[in-house]
Structure 1
């Protein structure tokens, strides 16, 4: 059981590693919204805000899709009663 707990962060770390490999040459890897917001505020040029909308719109779309999935799919699965 402890082996599973040790290996659990590996997929997340691997995904972040792949995002860094793919986006460092393009954006400097601004995958942290707080880091990107701070840099855009300090730099304060028009092109710094061009793609910043994704940090605001993306989480709302993801939350809406998760809510729809929960209502349609998860609640439709019957659970066995504990008796």
Structure 2
């Protein structure tokens, strides 16, 4: 009974026209929501990348400082006497 009523209702031209507009609006709304979600995801990835770059820079500075450190006590004493620190 409901199927026949719905089929009869959908045969009217203005109902099909309204359904087309409703589907178009729904499609546009879904597209905009998907764009928003994609932008949020891109923002999180960008923030993660900045954090990773900052951490890598800090680690690189630590490794450079470790490479310049004195190897033993004698080298440390020579540096202190020469004013290397």
Aligning the two structures, in what range does the TM-score lie when normalised by the shorter sequence? 0.3 to 0.5
Relative to the length of structure 2, the TM-score reads 0.35
Q: Return the index of the structure with the highest Cα Rg.
A: 2
Q: Where is the helix percentage greater, Structure 1 or Structure 2?
A: 2
Higher relative contact order (CA 8 A, sep 6+): 1
Relative to the length of structure 1, the TM-score reads 0.36
